Amino acid sequence: MWLMLLISTLTFFISFIIMILASTLAKKSITDREKASPYECGFDPKGSSRLPFSLRFFLIAVIFLIFDVEITLLLPTASIIYISNVFSWLMTIIFFLTLLLLGLYYEWLQGALEWSK
Task: Tell me which of 83 and 15 has the higher pLDDT.
Answer: 15
Let me know: does 77 contact 92? Beta carbons within 8 Å.
yes
pLDDT at 110: 86
Strand-pair partners of 40: 43
Q: How is the chain split into domains, by residue range?
A: 56-110
The tens digit of pLDDT for each residue in 5-34 reads 999 999 999 999 999 998 888 766 666 666
